[in-house]
Amino acid sequence: MPPIHPLIDLAINSFITFFVIIDPIGLIGIFNGLAIRMTAHNKRRLAIRGTAVGSVVLLLFAVGGERVLGAIGISLPAFRAAGGALLFMIAIEMIFQNRAQRRKETALHAAEEPPVDDVAIFPLAIPLIAGPGAITSVLLLTSRYKGAYVEQAIVLGAMLVVLAITLLTFLAADRLGRAIGTTIASVASRLLGILLAAVAVEYVVVGVRQIWDAAG
């Protein structure tokens, strides 16, 4: 079997990483919970605005995140190792379904508070779409290909595709929620958690190796 082209491999890996982290399937039930008392028009507005705000936040970190790290004196290898550890913790939460429960509690807590200006911003855009895991992933992937504009464009393209899928799942959340059910969503979350754990371990290994090489 011929080897996969490096750019295609990068696109696949980036897509899987963002799909696992953002988890559009896992967000369906939470979106339905946030929009339970909304009209169809307001549900569409919530879906579009929440996804748009989350996309802007992630793009800002993709463009300026490395400068922020440099300003506070954190090296990329150290952030890569720490980010990999964070992603591994998220993967463990997904495997044991703790992440889904935590997300539900965040959404429920927001709903129980006095009416907020816009639930599209909190909790939908931040932290459910553009949470610590997604921000860490976009920073790690874009910094890995610093100066390689084609590779960075592929990473950002994969992220935008996942965000577009997220928007589509929100727009069809009522039907998808009935079709998928909690059992299928639970199984999918666990499988995605295993994939994320493998990606996280690779980040940790590469980060520690770079720190070791720099120290040596």
Sole residue written with tokens 């890996």: 13
The verdict on residue 1 lying in a domain is no
Q: pTM (2 decimals)?
A: 0.81
pLDDT in tens, 26-47: 888 888 888 877 888 889 999 9
Give which of 138, 131, 130, 22 is closest to 80, Cα–Cα. Answer: 138
Q: Rounded to an integer, what distance in angstroms lies between the CA atom of residue 97 and that of residue 93?
A: 6
Quick one: what percent of the chain has pLDDT higher than 70? 88
State both tokens at 96.
Answer: 């044991």
The mean pLDDT value for 67-79 works out to 84
The verdict on residue 99 lying in a domain is yes
- Residue range(s) defining the domain that contains residue 113: 6-210
**Tally of structural domains, the chain:** 1
The verdict on residue 128 lying in a domain is yes
DSSP structural state of residue 3: P
Q: Which of 23-27, 34-38, 53-57 has the lowest mean pLDDT?
A: 34-38
- Cβ(77)–Cβ(211) under 8 Å? yes
Residue 52 clears pLDDT 90, i.e. is over it: yes
**pLDDT at position 36:** 78
Q: End-to-end distance of the chain based on CA atoms, in angstroms?
A: 39
The verdict on residue 206 lying in a domain is yes
The verdict on residue 216 lying in a domain is no
The verdict on residue 215 lying in a domain is no
Residue 199 clears pLDDT 90, i.e. is over it: no
